[in-house]
Amino acid sequence: MNYKSFDKKVAIVTGAGQGIGFEICRQLAKEGAAVILNDLDADLSESAAKKIRAEDGNCISLAGDSCDLDFIQSMVDLAVRQFGKLDIVIANAGITLFGDFLTYSPEAFNRVLNVNMGGTFFLTQAAAKQMKQQADGGSILFTSSITGRQAHKDLAAYAMTKAALDMLARNLVIELSAYKIKVNTIAPGATITERTTNDPDYETVWSKLTPMGRPGTTTDVANAALFLVSDKAKQITGQCLVIDGGWSCISPSPF
């Protein structure tokens, strides 16, 4: 029998209809986890889950707003009702609203904060309460961004939220380690996804700017994510793993 590193584990992944979140779900399911795949877009969420099930993965689609408090609790409740527990949460959902700092609107600002910070904070809170009750710990992972560490034009609000996630993970070491819950962050750099391929110059530009000679792939990011939520990383908590091909070491601007 082939050993699967996430056999009998139960995971929730938000913002997973495509891109990085989808690949994380796919890899978790491939390695034996039961996965609840969330996306705001119901059609996208179900289509993604069907693709994973077609590969013999155990995956349930649950569409909804990942920063809505009632919906957050429903995700945790579904995991427990369907699979009996919750082991892993990956708070991947986030939005990017570009805008010049001097004219950035309160509406855009509040939306970015609510999704990127509020959704992550309260999903973690709900998940941690469940993990505490289970008494055997758990693993929580935030998707930050290299933009939370290096300045990018027209992304002040977004960058602020991503930097905040790094600090939230560090602070939760104090709050959650006693319950054997580890909390870490990944910070992807330029990554080829459905969204970035809309820019025909994206791969060419970032291949020139990235020391490793290419932008990342969703598989690159998923590999890092799975390591941090796995039993191989039991002693790692409060840390941020940057996946950017070395770009942040030299930081040439794409603008």
Active site amino acids: 145, 158, 162
Pure H helices in the chain: 19-30, 42-54, 69-83, 106-113, 120-134, 156-176, 202-209, 218-229, 247-250
Q: How many CA atoms lie within 13 A of 208 on its CB side?
A: 8
Burial call 19-47: b when 16+ CB within 10 Å, e when fewer: bbbbbbbbbbbbbbbbbbbbbbeeebbbe
Pairing of strands 181-188, 138-143: parallel
Are residues 158 and 113 in contact, defined by beta-carbon separation less than 8 angstroms?
A: no
Pairing of strands 88-91, 10-13: parallel
Is 104 strand, coil or helix?
coil
d(Cα 34, Cα 11) in Å, to the nearest integer? 6
d(Cα 237, Cα 247) in Å, to the nearest integer? 24
Q: Which of 91, 92, 80, 94 is nearest to 34 (CA)?
A: 80
Q: Is 52 exposed, middle or buried, given 0-12, 13-18 or 19+ CB atoms closer than 10 A?
A: buried
